Structure 1
Amino acid sequence: MNLVGTGRTADVWALDDARVLRRYRDGRSAEPEAELLRHLHAHGFPVPPMHLVDGPEMTLGRVGGPTMLHALSTGGLDLHTAARIVLDLHALLHAVPPRGPGEAILHMDLHPDNVLLGPDGPVLIDWCNAIEGPPGLDLAMTAVILGQVAVDGPFAEGAAAFARPFIAASPSLLPHLDNALAHRAADPHQSAAELAALPRAADFIRAAAG
Protein backbone atom coordinates (compact mmCIF):
# COMPACT_ATOMS: atom_id res chain seq x y z
CA MET A 1 0.00 0.00 0.00
CA ASN A 2 1.07 3.56 -0.71
CA LEU A 3 0.39 6.37 1.76
CA VAL A 4 -1.60 9.00 -0.15
CA GLY A 5 -2.83 11.21 2.68
CA THR A 6 -2.41 11.88 6.36
CA GLY A 7 -4.42 14.05 8.72
CA ARG A 8 -4.59 14.85 12.40
CA THR A 9 -6.33 11.56 13.31
CA ALA A 10 -6.07 9.16 10.38
CA ASP A 11 -3.93 8.00 7.47
CA VAL A 12 -5.13 7.09 3.96
CA TRP A 13 -3.49 4.33 1.93
CA ALA A 14 -4.07 3.47 -1.73
CA LEU A 15 -5.14 -0.15 -2.16
CA ASP A 16 -5.43 0.06 -5.96
CA ASP A 17 -6.69 2.50 -8.60
CA ALA A 18 -10.27 2.23 -7.32
CA ARG A 19 -10.00 1.95 -3.51
CA VAL A 20 -8.32 3.56 -0.52
CA LEU A 21 -8.02 2.43 3.09
CA ARG A 22 -8.59 5.03 5.82
CA ARG A 23 -7.24 4.04 9.24
CA TYR A 24 -7.65 5.85 12.56
CA ARG A 25 -4.31 6.00 14.35
CA ASP A 26 -5.87 5.87 17.82
CA GLY A 27 -7.71 2.62 17.10
CA ARG A 28 -11.25 4.01 17.38
CA SER A 29 -14.01 2.29 15.42
CA ALA A 30 -14.71 3.69 11.96
CA GLU A 31 -18.31 2.46 12.05
CA PRO A 32 -19.91 5.74 13.25
CA GLU A 33 -18.28 7.61 10.37
CA ALA A 34 -19.28 4.84 7.95
CA GLU A 35 -22.91 5.05 9.09
CA LEU A 36 -22.90 8.79 8.44
CA LEU A 37 -21.39 8.30 4.98
CA ARG A 38 -24.11 5.78 4.13
CA HIS A 39 -26.76 8.27 5.22
CA LEU A 40 -25.23 11.12 3.23
CA HIS A 41 -24.77 8.97 0.13
CA ALA A 42 -28.41 7.83 0.34
CA HIS A 43 -29.49 11.49 0.24
CA GLY A 44 -27.30 12.37 -2.72
CA PHE A 45 -24.55 14.26 -0.93
CA PRO A 46 -21.11 13.86 -2.59
CA VAL A 47 -19.02 11.60 -0.34
CA PRO A 48 -16.63 8.79 -1.31
CA PRO A 49 -18.45 5.45 -1.77
CA MET A 50 -18.01 3.29 1.33
CA HIS A 51 -17.22 -0.41 0.83
CA LEU A 52 -16.11 -2.05 4.08
CA VAL A 53 -15.49 -1.29 7.76
CA ASP A 54 -13.18 -3.33 9.99
CA GLY A 55 -12.47 -1.78 13.39
CA PRO A 56 -10.46 1.42 12.87
CA GLU A 57 -10.24 0.82 9.11
CA MET A 58 -12.64 1.86 6.38
CA THR A 59 -12.31 0.98 2.70
CA LEU A 60 -13.58 3.76 0.43
CA GLY A 61 -13.85 4.36 -3.28
CA ARG A 62 -10.91 6.35 -4.59
CA VAL A 63 -11.85 9.78 -5.96
CA GLY A 64 -9.76 10.81 -8.93
CA GLY A 65 -8.72 14.44 -8.79
CA PRO A 66 -6.75 16.90 -6.66
CA THR A 67 -7.74 18.51 -3.40
CA MET A 68 -9.14 21.99 -3.70
CA LEU A 69 -6.08 23.23 -1.81
CA HIS A 70 -3.75 21.71 -4.41
CA ALA A 71 -5.80 23.18 -7.26
CA LEU A 72 -5.65 26.62 -5.65
CA SER A 73 -1.90 26.39 -5.07
CA THR A 74 -1.21 25.43 -8.68
CA GLY A 75 -3.59 27.93 -10.28
CA GLY A 76 -6.03 25.28 -11.44
CA LEU A 77 -8.88 26.96 -9.54
CA ASP A 78 -9.53 30.61 -8.76
CA LEU A 79 -10.30 31.83 -5.26
CA HIS A 80 -13.84 33.07 -5.88
CA THR A 81 -14.89 29.83 -7.57
CA ALA A 82 -13.41 27.87 -4.68
CA ALA A 83 -15.26 29.99 -2.13
CA ARG A 84 -18.52 29.41 -4.02
CA ILE A 85 -17.92 25.65 -4.05
CA VAL A 86 -17.40 25.65 -0.28
CA LEU A 87 -20.57 27.70 0.23
CA ASP A 88 -22.53 25.34 -2.02
CA LEU A 89 -21.25 22.27 -0.16
CA HIS A 90 -22.40 23.80 3.12
CA ALA A 91 -25.85 24.52 1.70
CA LEU A 92 -26.19 21.05 0.21
CA LEU A 93 -25.05 19.35 3.42
CA HIS A 94 -27.35 21.36 5.65
CA ALA A 95 -30.31 20.35 3.47
CA VAL A 96 -29.71 16.64 4.21
CA PRO A 97 -32.16 15.39 6.88
CA PRO A 98 -30.34 14.87 10.19
CA ARG A 99 -30.43 11.44 11.79
CA GLY A 100 -31.09 12.79 15.29
CA PRO A 101 -32.89 15.75 16.84
CA GLY A 102 -30.32 18.29 15.64
CA GLU A 103 -31.20 21.01 13.16
CA ALA A 104 -28.72 19.86 10.49
CA ILE A 105 -25.65 17.69 9.89
CA LEU A 106 -22.48 19.74 10.32
CA HIS A 107 -19.09 18.72 8.93
CA MET A 108 -17.13 21.00 11.30
CA ASP A 109 -13.91 20.77 9.25
CA LEU A 110 -14.97 21.95 5.79
CA HIS A 111 -11.93 23.58 4.22
CA PRO A 112 -10.05 23.30 0.89
CA ASP A 113 -7.85 20.36 1.92
CA ASN A 114 -10.96 18.27 2.67
CA VAL A 115 -12.58 18.85 -0.73
CA LEU A 116 -11.57 16.59 -3.61
CA LEU A 117 -12.26 17.91 -7.11
CA GLY A 118 -13.42 14.64 -8.66
CA PRO A 119 -14.41 14.05 -12.29
CA ASP A 120 -18.11 14.28 -11.34
CA GLY A 121 -17.73 17.30 -9.10
CA PRO A 122 -16.50 18.17 -5.61
CA VAL A 123 -16.45 15.42 -2.97
CA LEU A 124 -16.23 16.15 0.76
CA ILE A 125 -13.99 13.90 2.88
CA ASP A 126 -12.87 13.47 6.52
CA TRP A 127 -16.08 13.30 8.57
CA CYS A 128 -14.63 12.44 11.99
CA ASN A 129 -15.64 15.82 13.49
CA ALA A 130 -19.24 15.78 12.21
CA ILE A 131 -22.03 16.67 14.64
CA GLU A 132 -25.60 17.92 14.43
CA GLY A 133 -26.52 21.51 15.17
CA PRO A 134 -27.31 24.90 13.60
CA PRO A 135 -25.91 25.45 10.07
CA GLY A 136 -24.39 28.77 11.14
CA LEU A 137 -22.01 26.92 13.45
CA ASP A 138 -20.61 24.91 10.54
CA LEU A 139 -20.09 28.09 8.52
CA ALA A 140 -18.45 29.74 11.51
CA MET A 141 -16.07 26.81 11.95
CA THR A 142 -14.96 27.06 8.33
CA ALA A 143 -14.42 30.78 8.82
CA VAL A 144 -12.32 30.12 11.95
CA ILE A 145 -10.16 27.54 10.14
CA LEU A 146 -9.61 29.91 7.22
CA GLY A 147 -9.07 32.82 9.59
CA GLN A 148 -6.30 31.01 11.49
CA VAL A 149 -4.37 30.58 8.25
CA ALA A 150 -5.20 34.11 7.08
CA VAL A 151 -3.52 35.74 10.11
CA ASP A 152 -0.48 33.49 10.52
CA GLY A 153 2.00 31.70 8.29
CA PRO A 154 3.27 31.65 4.71
CA PHE A 155 -0.17 31.19 3.12
CA ALA A 156 -1.84 34.09 4.91
CA GLU A 157 -2.42 36.26 1.84
CA GLY A 158 -4.09 33.53 -0.20
CA ALA A 159 -6.17 32.32 2.74
CA ALA A 160 -7.37 35.84 3.43
CA ALA A 161 -8.36 36.34 -0.20
CA PHE A 162 -10.28 33.05 -0.09
CA ALA A 163 -11.89 33.71 3.28
CA ARG A 164 -13.22 37.23 2.70
CA PRO A 165 -15.85 36.41 0.03
CA PHE A 166 -16.86 33.28 1.96
CA ILE A 167 -17.37 35.24 5.18
CA ALA A 168 -19.12 38.14 3.44
CA ALA A 169 -21.59 35.69 1.89
CA SER A 170 -22.27 33.94 5.22
CA PRO A 171 -23.80 36.48 7.64
CA SER A 172 -25.49 33.67 9.59
CA LEU A 173 -22.10 32.57 10.95
CA LEU A 174 -21.58 35.60 13.21
CA PRO A 175 -24.01 34.57 16.01
CA HIS A 176 -22.15 31.24 16.19
CA LEU A 177 -18.60 32.58 16.02
CA ASP A 178 -17.86 32.39 19.74
CA ASN A 179 -19.12 28.79 19.85
CA ALA A 180 -16.93 27.86 16.87
CA LEU A 181 -13.91 29.48 18.50
CA ALA A 182 -14.57 27.49 21.68
CA HIS A 183 -14.85 24.26 19.68
CA ARG A 184 -11.57 24.99 17.95
CA ALA A 185 -9.82 25.92 21.18
CA ALA A 186 -10.95 22.62 22.75
CA ASP A 187 -9.55 20.54 19.86
CA PRO A 188 -6.62 18.55 21.32
CA HIS A 189 -4.97 18.37 17.91
CA GLN A 190 -4.50 22.15 17.65
CA SER A 191 -0.89 23.30 17.93
CA ALA A 192 0.21 26.11 20.23
CA ALA A 193 0.63 28.40 17.22
CA GLU A 194 -2.88 27.60 15.96
CA LEU A 195 -4.37 28.29 19.39
CA ALA A 196 -2.47 31.56 19.64
CA ALA A 197 -3.90 32.64 16.28
CA LEU A 198 -7.55 32.27 17.37
CA PRO A 199 -8.07 35.80 18.79
CA ARG A 200 -6.60 37.38 15.65
CA ALA A 201 -8.69 35.03 13.49
CA ALA A 202 -11.81 36.22 15.31
CA ASP A 203 -10.89 39.86 14.64
CA PHE A 204 -10.26 39.05 10.97
CA ILE A 205 -13.64 37.32 10.62
CA ARG A 206 -15.57 40.17 12.23
CA ALA A 207 -13.80 42.69 10.00
CA ALA A 208 -14.45 40.62 6.87
CA ALA A 209 -18.14 40.34 7.81
CA GLY A 210 -18.36 44.13 7.92
Structure 2
Amino acid sequence: MNPAQLAPHDDAPGPLLTSGRDADVYALDEDRVLRRNRDGQSVLREAAIVRHVWAHGFPAPQVFRAEGADLEMERLHGPTLLQALAAEEVPLREGATMLAELLNRLHRLPVPQDDLLTVGNADDVVVHLDLHPANVVLTESHGPAVVDWSAARLGSAALDVATTALLLAEVAADEGGDYSHAAQVLLVAFLAAVDTDPLPALDEAVRLRTRDSHLVPGERELVPAAAALVTRYAHGAHS
Protein backbone atom coordinates (compact mmCIF):
# COMPACT_ATOMS: atom_id res chain seq x y z
CA MET A 1 0.00 0.00 0.00
CA ASN A 2 1.15 3.52 -0.76
CA PRO A 3 2.43 5.08 2.50
CA ALA A 4 0.59 8.26 1.57
CA GLN A 5 -2.66 6.38 2.05
CA LEU A 6 -1.73 5.82 5.67
CA ALA A 7 -1.30 9.53 6.43
CA PRO A 8 -3.63 10.55 9.25
CA HIS A 9 -6.73 12.60 8.42
CA ASP A 10 -7.36 15.82 10.30
CA ASP A 11 -10.39 14.29 12.04
CA ALA A 12 -8.90 10.82 12.46
CA PRO A 13 -10.10 9.09 15.64
CA GLY A 14 -6.81 7.18 15.92
CA PRO A 15 -3.91 5.74 13.92
CA LEU A 16 -4.91 4.70 10.39
CA LEU A 17 -4.47 0.93 10.03
CA THR A 18 -5.51 0.54 6.40
CA SER A 19 -7.45 2.15 3.58
CA GLY A 20 -9.78 0.03 1.45
CA ARG A 21 -11.80 0.81 -1.64
CA ASP A 22 -14.56 2.64 0.24
CA ALA A 23 -13.44 3.09 3.81
CA ASP A 24 -10.61 3.81 6.20
CA VAL A 25 -9.96 1.68 9.28
CA TYR A 26 -8.56 3.32 12.41
CA ALA A 27 -7.19 1.76 15.58
CA LEU A 28 -9.01 3.08 18.64
CA ASP A 29 -7.06 0.84 21.01
CA GLU A 30 -5.85 -2.77 21.16
CA ASP A 31 -9.40 -4.10 21.26
CA ARG A 32 -11.37 -1.80 18.97
CA VAL A 33 -11.23 -0.35 15.46
CA LEU A 34 -13.40 2.19 13.69
CA ARG A 35 -14.27 1.67 10.03
CA ARG A 36 -15.38 4.94 8.39
CA ASN A 37 -16.98 5.13 4.94
CA ARG A 38 -15.28 7.91 3.00
CA ASP A 39 -18.44 8.78 1.05
CA GLY A 40 -20.51 9.14 4.21
CA GLN A 41 -22.71 6.14 3.38
CA SER A 42 -24.63 4.71 6.32
CA VAL A 43 -23.22 1.59 7.96
CA LEU A 44 -26.52 0.49 9.49
CA ARG A 45 -27.23 -2.33 7.04
CA GLU A 46 -23.69 -3.66 7.33
CA ALA A 47 -23.91 -3.48 11.13
CA ALA A 48 -27.22 -5.37 11.13
CA ILE A 49 -25.68 -8.22 9.12
CA VAL A 50 -22.49 -8.43 11.20
CA ARG A 51 -24.43 -8.35 14.47
CA HIS A 52 -26.68 -11.13 13.18
CA VAL A 53 -23.92 -13.49 12.05
CA TRP A 54 -21.87 -12.80 15.20
CA ALA A 55 -24.89 -13.54 17.41
CA HIS A 56 -25.24 -16.92 15.65
CA GLY A 57 -21.64 -17.89 16.30
CA PHE A 58 -20.16 -17.04 12.92
CA PRO A 59 -16.55 -15.80 13.14
CA ALA A 60 -16.85 -12.06 12.54
CA PRO A 61 -15.88 -9.00 14.57
CA GLN A 62 -18.27 -7.92 17.29
CA VAL A 63 -20.02 -4.60 16.57
CA PHE A 64 -19.94 -2.06 19.39
CA ARG A 65 -21.44 0.99 17.71
CA ALA A 66 -22.93 1.94 14.33
CA GLU A 67 -23.69 5.57 13.64
CA GLY A 68 -23.74 7.41 10.32
CA ALA A 69 -20.66 6.39 8.35
CA ASP A 70 -18.86 4.99 11.41
CA LEU A 71 -18.75 1.35 12.43
CA GLU A 72 -16.93 0.59 15.67
CA MET A 73 -15.94 -3.06 15.93
CA GLU A 74 -13.76 -5.57 17.68
CA ARG A 75 -10.14 -5.44 16.57
CA LEU A 76 -9.01 -8.80 15.20
CA HIS A 77 -5.33 -9.64 15.55
CA GLY A 78 -3.53 -11.95 13.15
CA PRO A 79 -2.35 -12.24 9.55
CA THR A 80 -4.80 -12.41 6.69
CA LEU A 81 -5.22 -15.69 4.87
CA LEU A 82 -3.65 -13.99 1.85
CA GLN A 83 -0.53 -13.18 3.86
CA ALA A 84 -0.36 -16.71 5.26
CA LEU A 85 -0.74 -18.23 1.78
CA ALA A 86 1.95 -15.96 0.32
CA ALA A 87 4.32 -16.89 3.17
CA GLU A 88 3.48 -20.60 2.61
CA GLU A 89 2.34 -20.84 6.23
CA VAL A 90 -1.01 -22.26 5.05
CA PRO A 91 -1.09 -24.80 2.18
CA LEU A 92 -3.14 -23.73 -0.84
CA ARG A 93 -5.68 -26.54 -0.57
CA GLU A 94 -6.13 -25.90 3.13
CA GLY A 95 -6.76 -22.23 2.40
CA ALA A 96 -9.28 -23.13 -0.30
CA THR A 97 -11.12 -25.45 2.08
CA MET A 98 -11.14 -22.69 4.68
CA LEU A 99 -12.84 -20.29 2.25
CA ALA A 100 -15.37 -22.94 1.21
CA GLU A 101 -16.23 -23.90 4.78
CA LEU A 102 -16.72 -20.25 5.76
CA LEU A 103 -19.21 -19.79 2.92
CA ASN A 104 -20.93 -23.12 3.63
CA ARG A 105 -21.32 -22.12 7.26
CA LEU A 106 -22.52 -18.61 6.45
CA HIS A 107 -25.20 -19.86 4.09
CA ARG A 108 -26.60 -22.20 6.75
CA LEU A 109 -27.34 -19.34 9.15
CA PRO A 110 -30.98 -18.31 9.68
CA VAL A 111 -32.14 -15.28 7.73
CA PRO A 112 -32.33 -12.17 9.92
CA GLN A 113 -35.67 -10.50 10.43
CA ASP A 114 -34.64 -6.87 10.05
CA ASP A 115 -36.39 -4.05 8.21
CA LEU A 116 -33.01 -2.90 6.84
CA LEU A 117 -32.57 -6.19 4.96
CA THR A 118 -34.73 -7.12 2.00
CA VAL A 119 -35.57 -10.73 1.14
CA GLY A 120 -35.97 -11.13 -2.61
CA ASN A 121 -36.56 -14.89 -2.84
CA ALA A 122 -37.66 -17.65 -0.50
CA ASP A 123 -34.23 -19.31 -0.66
CA ASP A 124 -32.23 -16.15 0.10
CA VAL A 125 -29.47 -16.46 2.69
CA VAL A 126 -26.89 -14.13 4.21
CA VAL A 127 -24.22 -13.49 1.57
CA HIS A 128 -20.88 -11.70 1.93
CA LEU A 129 -20.21 -11.03 -1.78
CA ASP A 130 -16.54 -10.17 -1.25
CA LEU A 131 -15.02 -13.21 0.44
CA HIS A 132 -11.43 -13.74 -0.64
CA PRO A 133 -8.17 -14.48 1.20
CA ALA A 134 -7.50 -10.83 2.10
CA ASN A 135 -10.84 -10.65 3.93
CA VAL A 136 -10.10 -13.59 6.22
CA VAL A 137 -8.06 -12.89 9.36
CA LEU A 138 -6.39 -15.86 11.06
CA THR A 139 -6.96 -15.06 14.73
CA GLU A 140 -6.05 -17.01 17.84
CA SER A 141 -9.39 -16.22 19.48
CA HIS A 142 -11.82 -16.91 16.60
CA GLY A 143 -9.78 -19.01 14.22
CA PRO A 144 -10.39 -17.80 10.64
CA ALA A 145 -12.65 -14.73 10.90
CA VAL A 146 -14.33 -12.80 8.09
CA VAL A 147 -14.03 -9.01 7.79
CA ASP A 148 -15.24 -6.27 5.41
CA TRP A 149 -18.99 -6.89 5.26
CA SER A 150 -19.75 -3.72 3.29
CA ALA A 151 -21.21 -5.65 0.33
CA ALA A 152 -23.12 -8.17 2.47
CA ARG A 153 -26.87 -8.55 2.10
CA LEU A 154 -29.51 -11.23 1.66
CA GLY A 155 -29.29 -13.06 -1.63
CA SER A 156 -28.38 -16.22 -3.48
CA ALA A 157 -25.79 -18.63 -2.09
CA ALA A 158 -24.84 -19.41 -5.69
CA LEU A 159 -24.05 -15.73 -6.32
CA ASP A 160 -21.85 -15.61 -3.22
CA VAL A 161 -19.91 -18.69 -4.32
CA ALA A 162 -19.68 -17.43 -7.90
CA THR A 163 -18.30 -14.08 -6.70
CA THR A 164 -15.55 -15.71 -4.64
CA ALA A 165 -14.71 -18.11 -7.47
CA LEU A 166 -14.53 -15.23 -9.94
CA LEU A 167 -12.21 -13.23 -7.67
CA LEU A 168 -9.85 -16.20 -7.37
CA ALA A 169 -10.10 -16.90 -11.09
CA GLU A 170 -9.11 -13.35 -12.03
CA VAL A 171 -5.73 -13.90 -10.38
CA ALA A 172 -5.45 -17.30 -12.06
CA ALA A 173 -6.32 -15.79 -15.45
CA ASP A 174 -3.55 -13.21 -15.20
CA GLU A 175 -1.02 -15.20 -17.21
CA GLY A 176 2.50 -14.33 -16.20
CA GLY A 177 1.34 -13.01 -12.86
CA ASP A 178 3.32 -14.06 -9.80
CA TYR A 179 0.36 -15.84 -8.22
CA SER A 180 -1.41 -17.20 -11.29
CA HIS A 181 -0.62 -20.87 -10.70
CA ALA A 182 -1.29 -20.68 -6.97
CA ALA A 183 -4.65 -19.03 -7.61
CA GLN A 184 -5.57 -21.77 -10.06
CA VAL A 185 -4.83 -24.44 -7.44
CA LEU A 186 -6.84 -22.41 -4.92
CA LEU A 187 -9.78 -22.07 -7.33
CA VAL A 188 -9.96 -25.78 -8.19
CA ALA A 189 -9.77 -26.82 -4.54
CA PHE A 190 -12.34 -24.19 -3.51
CA LEU A 191 -14.88 -25.36 -6.09
CA ALA A 192 -14.37 -28.97 -5.01
CA ALA A 193 -14.99 -28.11 -1.34
CA VAL A 194 -17.88 -25.64 -1.50
CA ASP A 195 -21.44 -26.96 -1.19
CA THR A 196 -23.13 -24.72 -3.77
CA ASP A 197 -22.75 -24.81 -7.55
CA PRO A 198 -21.79 -21.30 -8.71
CA LEU A 199 -22.73 -21.75 -12.36
CA PRO A 200 -26.42 -20.73 -12.10
CA ALA A 201 -25.30 -17.31 -10.81
CA LEU A 202 -22.04 -16.87 -12.71
CA ASP A 203 -23.49 -14.50 -15.32
CA GLU A 204 -24.86 -12.27 -12.56
CA ALA A 205 -21.51 -12.31 -10.76
CA VAL A 206 -19.80 -11.30 -14.02
CA ARG A 207 -22.24 -8.41 -14.51
CA LEU A 208 -21.68 -7.15 -10.97
CA ARG A 209 -17.93 -7.47 -11.29
CA THR A 210 -17.66 -5.63 -14.60
CA ARG A 211 -19.79 -2.79 -13.22
CA ASP A 212 -17.58 -2.39 -10.16
CA SER A 213 -16.25 1.17 -10.24
CA HIS A 214 -13.34 0.23 -7.97
CA LEU A 215 -11.57 -2.07 -10.44
CA VAL A 216 -8.01 -1.05 -11.18
CA PRO A 217 -6.72 -0.86 -14.78
CA GLY A 218 -6.55 -4.33 -16.32
CA GLU A 219 -8.92 -6.06 -13.88
CA ARG A 220 -12.06 -5.69 -15.98
CA GLU A 221 -10.32 -7.24 -18.98
CA LEU A 222 -9.58 -10.38 -16.93
CA VAL A 223 -13.23 -11.05 -16.06
CA PRO A 224 -14.22 -13.01 -19.25
CA ALA A 225 -11.20 -15.32 -18.97
CA ALA A 226 -11.87 -15.72 -15.25
CA ALA A 227 -15.48 -16.68 -15.92
CA ALA A 228 -14.31 -19.29 -18.42
CA LEU A 229 -12.02 -20.81 -15.78
CA VAL A 230 -14.85 -20.94 -13.23
CA THR A 231 -17.09 -22.64 -15.78
CA ARG A 232 -14.40 -25.15 -16.68
CA TYR A 233 -13.55 -26.18 -13.13
CA ALA A 234 -17.06 -25.94 -11.67
CA HIS A 235 -18.36 -28.39 -14.29
CA GLY A 236 -15.91 -30.95 -12.99
CA ALA A 237 -16.56 -30.22 -9.33
CA HIS A 238 -20.37 -30.28 -9.48
CA SER A 239 -21.05 -32.73 -12.30
Short-chain TM bin: over 0.9
Where do residues 15-164 of structure 1 align in structure 2 (5 Å cutoff)? 15-99=28-112, 100-101=118-119, 102=121, 103-119=124-140, 120-152=142-174, 153-164=177-188
Specify which of 196, 200, 205 is matched with residue 175 of structure 1: 200
What RMSD over aligned residues (CA atoms) do the two structures have, in Å? 1.4
Give the length in aligned residue pairs.
Answer: 210
| TM-score, reference length from structure 1 | 0.94
Amino acid at match of 2:225: R
Which consecutive aligned stretches of 4+ in structure 1 deviate over 3 angstroms post-superposition? 168-171
Per the TM alignment, residue 167 of structure 1 is displaced from its structure 2 partner at its CA by 2.0
Give 3-state SS (helix, strand or coil) of 2:21's partner. Answer: coil
Opposite residue 125 of structure 1, the aligned amino acid is: V
Between stretches 200-209 and 89-98, larger displacement belongs to 200-209
Q: Point out the structure with max Rg over C-alpha.
A: 2
Cα distance in 2 for partners of 1:58, 1:169 equals 33
How far has the Cα of 1:55 moved from its partner? 1.6
User: Does the aligned pair in 1 maintain the 2:101–2:193 contact within 8 Å?
Assistant: no
Tell me which moved more, 141-150 or 46-55: 46-55
Ranges in structure 1 where 5+ consecutive residues have no aligned partner: none
Structure ranking higher in helix proportion: 1
Identity of aligned residues (%): 40
Distance 2:173 2:132 in 1: 16
SS of structure 1 residue aligned to 2:198: helix
Q: Which runs of 5+ in 2 are unaligned?
A: 1-13, 113-117
Paired with 2:219 and 2:153, the residues of 1 have a C-alpha distance of: 22
TM-score normalised by the chain length of structure 2:
0.83
Q: State the alpha-carbon separation in 1 of the partners of residues 149 and 64 from structure 2.
A: 16
